[in-house]
Chain A
Amino acid sequence: ILNVEQSPQSLHVQEGDSTNFTCSFPSSNFYALHWYRWETAKSPEALFVMTLNGDEKKKGRISATLNTKEGYSYLYIKGSQPEDSATYLCASDEFISNFGNEKLTFGTGTRLTIIP
């Protein structure tokens, strides 16, 4: 995987249902994996930053897991509510040793719409 890929691109979920989506990223030179929520007409808001293989983080009804060996992360939303409607972005932070810094690459996002 050369780029950060998110699937699906868009998703419609009935209110109250649970859902999940995927972020795939290059597993080599892995440094960190970020998840952001971006609501229409607002700024992207950080959800999680994950660094360790097997990491699992939770914030309210939203949780995320990380597999750095195979290069994927899942975001789960339990009991979807209308306020969960947003675009969910993941970003992979790779350590670029040649330059001693990092490279942050975003996916195109999963656009989630909750149907009341």
Chain B
Amino acid sequence: ETGVTQTPRHLVMGMTNKKSLKCEQHLGHNAMYWYKQSAKKPLELMFVYNFKEQTENNSVPSRFSPECPNSSHLFLHLHTLQPEDSALYLCASSQATGRDEQYFGPGTRLTVT
């Protein structure tokens, strides 16, 4: 595997379910990101991890819980989501934060019913 991979690619979940999104990067990068892409809205940064430490949380509701066990893996744990949380969730990585280009995964299309 090369680049940034995400699983699953599609997920349908009920509002009472608990699920997790997984991201893995094979680029030796130190920073990883979670983004949300809703219809007609800009790409929205949710969480940033730099050297496994969370450095940014853009006022994301607590029903989204990130986990970064090492520099190569990033998870987004989901529980009691709302229908408006249906979106494309993208993971990205970069060598460092800020001035380095980001490499994006293919995304997980999430539908909350």
Contacts and interface: CB of A to CB of B under 8 A. Distances in A.
B104 A106 contact: no
B107 interface: yes
Given A44-B92, A46-B101, A46-B102, 19 more contacts: A31-B98, A36-B104, A43-B90, A44-B102, A44-B104, A48-B101, A51-B99, A89-B43, A91-B43, A93-B99, A95-B98, A99-B56, A101-B55, A102-B97, A103-B45, A103-B56, A103-B58, A106-B42, A108-B41
Nearest to A107: B42
Contact of B99 (A32, A43, A45, A101): A32
Interface centre among B42, B48, B105 (most CB of A within 10 A): B42
Interface residues of A, number: 27
19 contacts: A4-B42, A31-B98, A32-B99, A34-B102, A43-B4, A43-B106, A43-B107, A44-B92, A44-B104, A51-B99, A93-B98, A99-B56, A102-B56, A102-B97, A103-B56, A106-B42, A106-B45, A107-B42, A108-B40
Interface string B31-48: 000000000111111001
B63 to A, nearest CB: 22
Interface of A: 4, 31-32, 34, 36, 42-46, 48-49, 51, 89, 91, 93, 95, 99, 101-109
Size band of the interface chain B makes with A: 20 to 34
B90 A104 contact: no
A34 B45 contact: no
A18 to B, nearest CB: 24
Contacts of B58: 103
Nearest to B104: A43
A66 to B, nearest CB: 13
A33 B43 CA distance: 15
Interface string B45-61: 10010000001101000
A107 B102 CA distance: 16
A88 to B, nearest CB: 12
Best-surrounded residue of A4, A43, A51 (most CB of chain B within 10 A):
A43
